[in-house]
Structures are given as structure tokens and as C-alpha cells.
């Protein structure tokens, strides 16, 4: 089955946040990577498929500007409720990230994808995703991906995955990006 809003809305409606298989309360690993980016707190972030990630709260506390995307309105509603007043300062983008992003999405300094890209399994969708990365991330910007590796599980949340080697990710990003760090 292809990733779709009904599937994800059902998951976010029916499941406590901390019970989600991918729930991560400790954002230390992401913050360690961000510390390699000078002045990251003064950046505009794009988080595709943000789900209900508490990384949002950490970035807001640091003073960063945020653009949050998800195919699931249910997930974004959970975020709004949790964040409270600061939600008004966020640009909310409820759409399939394989489709072109609009002009409401400003140029982005840092794009962080944790377990989202790998749900796109059609080649056209994958190409659409990378077009968005290339059109929105500024020159000198950074992208951070956390996807299942080739020998990882072939499914997650009841959906098939397109798993990524570092070679495939690098190739799809193209020569305008330079690899800074990778690990499993």
C-alpha cells in the first residue's frame, strides 16, 4: 500500500504518541549533528513528515524558525495542541511531500528527514521529493536524513519501504551537496 493520509491519520488518532514505534524522547543524536552547523539556532528548518516529534519543541526553545510538513492533519493537530501559543509562529504545510512545495515555504537552511523519505516507493514520488529539496534548501544549507538502510526492515507502520544506502542518497542529492558525516 502507498503512504496516504487516511493510513497515517488513523495511526495518529488511535495511538498514544509515546507508543508509536518510532517515538524518540531523546533528541541528543540530532542535536550532536546540528552542533556541526555554525549558528544553527538562527536557522529556518523544514521538517518533512514531522509526525509528533518532540524535536519541534527543542528547536523552538532554541529560537529557530520552523516549517512543519506532514501528510497527516491529525499529526499536525497534535503538534499544535502540544506547542500552544508558539504554534502561530510556525508555517504549517499539510501535503504529500512528493508533490511540489508552494511559495509559502521560504528558502530553507536545514532540512531534517527522520524516517519519512523511505515511505516513498514510486520513482516519480522520490524524484518529486528530491526536487523539493533542491528547490527549497539554500546554497550553503544542510540536509539530514535518517532512513532505513538496505539490510533494515522492509516494512514500517504497515507500509513497504524504499531503503537507502549512503551511496544512493548521495547520488540522488547530486554533486551540489557534500557528504559531511554518515553512520548506521
Ligand X SMILES: C[S@@+](CC[C@H](N)C(=O)[O-])C[C@H]1O[C@@H](n2cnc3c(N)ncnc32)[C@H](O)[C@@H]1O
Touching ligand X, residues 126-155 (CB under 6 A)? none
Cβ–Cβ under 8 Å, residues 133 and 167: no
- Cell matching residue 169: 542518497
- Identify which of residues 44 and 97 has a Cβ nearer to ligand X in the complex: 97
Q: Where are the beta strands (DSSP E) in the chain?
A: 44-47, 65-70, 91-94, 108-114, 137-146, 155-156, 159-160
Q: Could you say whether residue 50 binds ligand X (CB under 6 A)?
A: yes
Q: Could you say whether residue 49 binds ligand X (CB under 6 A)?
A: yes
Angle between helices 55-62 and 73-83 (to 10 degrees): 50
Q: Could you say whether residue 44 binds ligand X (CB under 6 A)?
A: no
- Identify which of residues 40 and 56 has a Cβ nearer to ligand X in the complex: 56
End-to-end CA distance of the chain: 27
**Angstrom distance (rounded) from CA 143 to CA 108:** 10
Q: CA angle, 126 as apex, 102 and 184 as ends, to 5°?
A: 115
Q: Could you say whether residue 70 binds ligand X (CB under 6 A)?
A: yes
The contact mask relative to ligand X for 76-105 (x = CB under 6 A, - = no) is --------------------xxx-------
- Identify which of residues 79 and 109 has a Cβ nearer to ligand X in the complex: 79
Q: Could you say whether residue 116 binds ligand X (CB under 6 A)?
A: yes
- Identify which of residues 44 and 72 has a Cβ nearer to ligand X in the complex: 72
Question: Which parts of this chain interact with ligand X (CB under 6 A)?
Answer: 3, 8, 22, 48-51, 53, 69-72, 75, 96-98, 114-116, 119, 157
Amino acid at each position: 500500500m502507498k503512504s496516504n493520509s487516511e493510513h497515517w491519520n488513523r495511526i495518529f488518532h488511535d495511538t498514544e504518541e509515546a507508543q508509536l514505534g518510532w517515538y524518540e524522547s531523546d533528541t541528543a543524536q540530532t542535536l550532536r549533528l546540528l552542533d556541526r552547523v555554525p549558528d544553527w539556532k538562527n536557522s529556518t528548518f523544514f521538517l518533512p513528515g514531522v509526525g509528533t516529534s518532540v524535536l519541534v519543541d527543542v528547536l523552538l526553545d532554541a529560537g529557530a524558525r520552523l516549517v512543519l510538513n506532514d501528510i497527516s492533519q491529525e499529526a499536525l493537530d497534535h503538534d499544535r495542541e502540544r506547542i500552544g501559543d508558539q504554534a502561530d509562529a510556525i508555517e504549517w504545510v499539510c501535503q504529500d511531500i512528493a508533490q511540489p512545495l508552494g511559495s509559502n515555504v521560504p528558502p530553507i537552511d536545514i532540512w531534517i528527514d527522520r524516517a519519512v523519505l523511505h515511505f516513498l516507493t514510486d520513482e516519480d514520488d522520490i524524484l518529486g521529493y528530491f526536487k523539493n529539496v533542491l528547490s527549497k534548501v539554500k546554497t550553503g544549507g544542510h540536509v539530514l536524513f535518517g532512513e532505513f538502510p538496505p539490510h533494515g526492515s522492509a516494512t514500517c507502520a504497515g507500509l513497504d519501504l524504499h531503503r537507502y544506502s549512503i551511496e544512493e542518497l548521495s547520488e540522488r542529492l547530486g554533486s551540489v551537496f557534500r557528504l559531511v558525516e554518515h553512520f548506521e
